[in-house]
Chains A and B, each alone.
Chain A
Amino acid sequence: MSALDSRTDEELMNLCVEGSEEAFAELVKRYKPRIVSVIYRYINDPIRAQEIAQEVFVRVFVHREKYRRTARFSTWIFTIALNLTKNEIRHRVRHSRVMSIEALKEMGSSVGFFLRDRSRGPDEKVEERELQEVVGSAIAELPTKYRDAVILRDIEGLSYEEVGEILSIPGGTVRSRINRGRLILKKRLEPYVS
């Protein structure tokens, strides 16, 4: 156990601002699985998720002096991750086809078509894989504002307060978005949990 293990994220970031590469490495160790996971849940592409996660950490390091010492590190890094992920989604939409509103309406709930993960191997059990795909698609098809809240809360396990800080919304809105998002998911997933 290194001396950095017991430090808070904010203390590590402060050390990082002062030039400690070890502190940065510790932050990477703590956050890389979570950042990769949250990005993956948006874009369903594990390889690209790793690349975007890498860019998140590059930005944290390159812009470390812009970190506000009073801010919670987790909300800062997840905000960066969400922004970069949404840039990726915009890029994909722009380069996949002209996404007119009418086209989107026609596509209806199948907007996840360009997010489908084709990288899984044949080893996984078919049922489990199918269930994962159903849940993943249900999340991908949530309206954006609910999806953001549900992913941060249920995939990353962030507190309501952290979700509010990342999405810049008040506590009451966080509660309502998480609840509504989950109620939509419940409706979609009911056949699989009953």
Chain B
Amino acid sequence: MKCNTVRELFSVSFDGELSVAEEREFKSHVSSCHACSREFDVFSKSVQLVNSLSKPQVNPFFDARLKQAISDRQAAPLGERSSVFVLRPAFAFAAVAVLVSLLLLVPPGQINLNNRLSTSELAPSPEMSEVGGAPVDPLALTQRVTVPGSYDANQLSQEVETAWSTRDARVASSYGSIGTTVPAGYDLANAKGAVLEVEFVLDPFFMEGTEVRRLETASAPEVEPELVSMTF
């Protein structure tokens, strides 16, 4: 066994997850290699240090507050639930719906043909592990949408404006200030040619049994998309 291979096995050996044969080979190398022996010693101590981190005390009123929170939640009609956690998926779906509506509302002749629209399944999958070259969480996705070069703003419904502003879409092209938050009531007509970015946050509770699809648009040739936000 070589040093590099041994170091790849530090964790599984520390956790006792190696097979008997692997463990024998691992120990044989470590006992005869001073560098690996020292490395494994420091490695083990640092893991033990992490293991020994103190844990926060649970609030003595935790159970009472939980009971109250559950009865409040059950008492509140769905529409009155104000928790961001509850509303988020709804916003995400609204945003998806808005994107579809937006694309359907734009007369075909006015669509920039360079913006090829395709769909692909949106689910925690390997191909979702990277968007724009940056790692993203499987349950979240940043989505860029190229607003067509010209369209009739009157064709956009109120729903469009609401959803865009709700999702804090950010202008992410050379046509707008990078990182600018699109304010409530943002006039999409003035976003001509801009590339907007919308974040979708998925919730497993609301996604269960639902087929969700992702809209992909290629960027307009003159616009170089830039990743402007970090998704955890």
Please state if A193 and B137 are interface contacts (CB–CB under 8 Å).
Answer: no
Choose one: B54, B70, B168, B229; the contact of A61 (CB below 8 Å). B70
A50 and B134 alpha carbons, distance in the complex (Å): 31
Total number of residue pairs linking A and B with CB closer than 8 Å: 149
Residues of B within 8 A of A46 (CB): 56-57
Q: Is the interface of B mostly helix, strand, loop or mixed?
A: mixed
- Asked if B213 is an interface residue, CB under 8 A from chain A, the answer is no
Choose one: B11, B65, B138; the contact of A179 (CB below 8 Å). B11
Please state if B181 and A98 are interface contacts (CB–CB under 8 Å).
Answer: yes
Please state if B50 and A54 are interface contacts (CB–CB under 8 Å).
Answer: no
> Restricting to B1-48, which residues have a CB under 8 Å from any CB of A?
7-12, 15, 17, 39, 42-43, 45-47
Residues of A within 8 A of B50 (CB): 135, 139, 150, 154-155, 182, 185, 189
Q: A25-B63, A58-B73, A178-B11 are in contact. Are A40 and B49 (CB under 8 A)?
A: no
A189 and B57 alpha carbons, distance in the complex (Å): 25
- Asked if A145 is an interface residue, CB under 8 A from chain B, the answer is yes
How many residues does chain B have at the interface if contact means C-beta atoms less than 8 Å apart? 60
Residues of B within 8 A of A69 (CB): none
Please state if B229 and A54 are interface contacts (CB–CB under 8 Å).
Answer: no
Q: Is the interface of A mostly helix, strand, loop or mixed?
A: helix
The segment from B83-91, B107-115, B148-156, B187-195 that touches chain A is B83-91
Choose one: B49, B140, B178, B204; the contact of A90 (CB below 8 Å). B140
- A residues bordering B, Cβ < 8 Å? 25, 28, 32-33, 36-37, 40-41, 46, 49-50, 53-55, 57-59, 61-63, 66, 79-80, 83-84, 86-87, 89-91, 93-94, 98-101, 104, 131-132, 135-136, 139, 143-145, 150, 153-155, 157, 160, 168, 175-176, 178-179, 182-183, 185-186, 189-190, 192-194
